[in-house]
Amino acid sequence: MPIKDVLLPLVGEPGDATIAAIDKCVAVAGDLGANVSAVAVEETVLVRPQVISTDLDNSAAANAVRSVTDANGLLKAFDNAAIRFGLRNEQTLVRWAAGDIATNFARAARLKDLSLIPVKSHDNQSEAIVEQLLFKSGRPILLFPKERAAELPVAFRHVVIAWDHSAPAARAVGDALPLLEAAETVRVITATDRSTPEEMKSGADLVGHLGEHGIKASFEATKIEGSSVGKVFEAFVRANAIDLLVMGGYRHTRLNEIVWGGVTKTVIGQPPCWVMMSR
């Protein structure tokens, strides 16, 4: 099924990095021929006053240190990009409590083909939005490192699939089929130090499955050798000029990944490139 209906969550302030990320999202959506629903959240933030009052009961003074993020500026940046690229779009301004933002984005994403997520490195809010979309939307996400938006490609020519025969990985492959069909090269990798017959057969079977969709792919096992699987994927992406990493999210429980670390937490914390993720 082609990707034709996309959600773009917008949070924070319209700084240079954010505007570059919005531009790249619009360019990718335009390349896909998709309609984009941009939802900008006006968040209440606390601003440190220049003069600190000692009157703790003065509600006027308390209100004076409260402000809101420039959600209108985010929508303006999106509108400018949409006009340049001739993008079909919808724009919505919302006011949600901080604790509801991630959950409400997940609800909005349920009737979309995909959510485009700029990820700020090791940022709690970015990670919360990604996690809620993974666990509660039932739809795939396409995330990318916000700080590197300007240098990322618009088209995904070289793709790698992180394969471990898990249900999340299988769902990610199915969700990514429109992107895999358009790619020039597709590589399937399994990170392992053992290369068991079962792992090798599973990788070969995935290559055969992709072939039924007209996708020519190759399979290889790559060694972990004391590193983390997330770092192995990051190194593979950089060494092979990969445009898009396709992977399942949270094969293990979220609590285990938080306590012990895991590939999903590593990739969400700092995506190495464009990442298509499903669960």
Q: For CA atoms 217, 165, 123, 178, give the dihedral sign.
A: positive
Other Cβ atoms within 10 Å of 103 Cβ, number: 17
What's the pLDDT score for residue 244?
A: 98
Phi then psi for 230, rounded to 5 degrees?
Answer: -60, -40
Confidence band for 257, pLDDT divided at 50, 70 and 90 = very low
Round to whole Å and give the CA distance between 40 and 56. 33
What's the pLDDT score for residue 50?
A: 59
What's the pLDDT score for residue 226?
A: 79
Mean pLDDT of the residues in the chain: 90
pLDDT single digits (tens) 101-115:
999 999 999 999 999
The candidate with the shortest Cα–Cα distance to 155, out of 127, 181, 191, is 181
Q: What does pTM read for this prediction? A: 0.89
Confidence band for 57, pLDDT divided at 50, 70 and 90 = low
C-alpha 260: how far from chain center? 22
Confidence band for 54, pLDDT divided at 50, 70 and 90 = low
State which fold the 5-150 domain adopts: Rossmann fold (3.40.50)
Q: Which residues contact 266 (CB under 8 A, 6 or more apart)?
A: 228, 229, 230, 231, 234
Please determine, looking at this structure, whether the domain spanning 155-278 carries the CATH number 3.50.50.60. Answer: no
- Per-residue CA distances from 199 to 116, 164, 177, 224 (Å): 31, 8, 22, 14
Least confident range from 48-62, 99-113, 124-138: namely 48-62
pLDDT single digits (tens) 68-77:
899 999 999 9
Q: Is the pLDDT of residue 227 over 90?
A: no
**Fold agreement between 5-150 and 155-278:** yes
Round to whole Å and give the CA distance between 26 and 18. 12
Task: Give me the helices (H) in 86-137, please.
Answer: 101-109, 124-136
Q: Is the pLDDT of residue 272 over 70?
A: yes
Q: Is the pLDDT of residue 202 over 80?
A: yes
In this structure, what DSSP letter does residue 23 have? H
Round to whole Å and give the CA distance between 18 and 277. 21
Round to whole Å and give the CA distance between 154 and 23. 10
pLDDT single digits (tens) 157-188:
999 999 999 999 999 999 999 999 999 999 99
Hey, where are the domains in the chain?
Answer: 5-150, 155-278
Q: Is the pLDDT of residue 269 over 80?
A: yes
